[in-house]
Amino acid sequence: TQLLIKAQKFEEISKDFSAEKAKIESKRERAELGVLKLNNLTYGEVNFKSIAECFRFIRNKYQCFPVGSGGTFVDLGSGSGKGVLAAALMHNFDRCIGIEILEGLHK
């Protein structure tokens, strides 16, 4: 199915930036900045299946994300960008933007 193909593409693209690597980088940079204990900078990760389910729910409940394309997806606190990648695979947005305060995660 299309969803399986998208999930495989997600895994292929994101295979080099694992959750473990991102957690280590997040902790390292937060310690360096002296903000290790701030809860709003705690690293968490989304997976493709969760994002796909959210999109399916929104599409069905609110008739958003029509078959066509368009719109902008913004992920505040995007971490390593997996949510942005999943969004780009789930809908033909005009733009997908990830905003991350920790430079190491962004890189």
Supply the pLDDT for residue 66: 58
Q: Which amino acid is residue 46, in one-letter code?
A: V
**Residue whose tokens read 């980088």:** 25
Supply the pLDDT for residue 44: 82
Per-residue pLDDT of the chain (107 residues; tens, 9 = 90+): 899 999 999 999 999 889 999 989 988 988 898 887 766 667 788 889 999 998 888 888 877 655 567 889 999 989 999 999 999 999 889 999 999 988 888 78
Burial 40-69 (b: 16+ CB within 10 A, else e): ebebeebbbeebbeebeeeeeeeeebeeee
Token pair, residue 19, equals 């959750």
Supply the pLDDT for residue 61: 83
pTM equals 0.85
